[in-house]
Amino acid sequence: MNTGHEEHKGYTKNTKRTILDMTVKAKNQLLTYLIAAVWLVNGLFCKILNLVPRHRQIVARIIGEEHAGLFTVLIGAAETIMAIWILLRILPRLNAIIQMLVIAIMNLIEFFLAPDLLLWGKFNALFAFLFILLIYFNESRLNQKPVAVS
């Protein structure tokens, strides 16, 4: 008999689920998509398509105006490739390490050479650090491989 409160894994139809109710695998997938989206938006939209000119200005401040356009597009292409690599899940641990290094290096350079051009000024370093922690957590804690029992 259908009472309108069908149970599935301890939930009824009327139960609201939150991110806390998600499986570890589902959380890992969600964060993986979120992280890839950050790289894609910054690479493709902000840099390649130049929808946020501030990115080109930062590159110009660091390497000079003459080649800023080309290098901004190249950096954007690398960030877009990073997003694809993340989604493909090929060598995910190496990918996470490279992401964390790239974010740390880029943000250190920007912190000292172009803090006035950053969205949150020197506070960008805090957001970069939090993003690095998110990448670390997603790869080291949520992306656990099953252990074979012999």
In a domain, 81, yes or no: yes
Whether 126 is in a domain gets the answer yes
Give the model's pLDDT for residue 6.
47
11 or 93: whose pLDDT is higher? 93
Whole domain around residue 32: which residue ranges?
22-138
Please give the pLDDT value at position 9.
Answer: 54
Q: Is the residue at 1 inside a domain? A: no
Confidence (pTM): 0.82
Q: What number of other Cβ atoms are within 10 A of residue 116's Cβ?
A: 9
Q: What would the mean pLDDT of 4-11 be, rounded to a whole number?
A: 49
DSSP string, 82-130: HHHHHHHTSSHHHHHHHHHHHHHHHHHHHHHH-GGGSTTGGGHHHHHHH
Average pLDDT in the 51-80 region?
98
Residue type at 27 in one-letter notation: K
The answer to whether position 74 is within a domain reads: yes
- What total number of domains does the chain contain? 1
Q: What is the pLDDT of residue 7?
A: 47
d(CA 44, CA 61): 21
11 within domain boundaries: no
Across the range 64-72, mean pLDDT stands at: 97
Residue 14 lies in a domain: no
pLDDT of 146 > 80? The answer is no
